[in-house]
Amino acid sequence: MKLTIVTIVCVVLINFISEAYGCTCLPGTDQERFCSATFVSRGRVTDMKPLKGGEIEYTVAVNYNFKIKVPSTLKVRSNQSSAACGIILDKGVEYLISGTVRKDRYRTRYYTNSCRWTRRWQDIKPDTQQKLLKGQFNSC
């Protein structure tokens, strides 16, 4: 009986611990996600490569910039772990990708994660696609 109780307590504690270290995103509207991002672009993933430190770098052929101008071939990074809000993008698929930019003296890096407005373009509602294309999200 004691072993059963100890087992149940351990299972409950493990669930709490895994929840505490998982990825949690704040809810928000599309407008809020647009405004909180440094860049918002539409493009197709052409390549991906794992990096040291648990990151993955996606090469994206950008065909439209909705916010700042980014390179036509964008290298965007994300964590590989979903627990760290990493996002998995599929090669050959077109996405709306948003994220942040980090600059230092030598380079500019682009980052995204699962809390950002990064979705398959085909999964973005048609009226939202039109608002993006017409620049109706630009009033931040």
Bind-site residues: 23
Task: State the Cα–Cα distance between residues 56 and 81, nearest whole angstrom.
Answer: 10
> Is 111 within 8 Å of 76 (Cβ atoms)?
yes
| Joined tokens for residue 130 | 């039109």
Bind-site residues for Zn(2+): 23
- DSSP helix/strand/coil, 117: coil
> Cα torsion for 40, 62, 118, 114, to the nearest 10°?
-110
Task: State the Cα–Cα distance between residues 53 and 57, nearest whole angstrom.
Answer: 12
| H-helix segments, 2-140 | 2-20, 30-36, 126-133
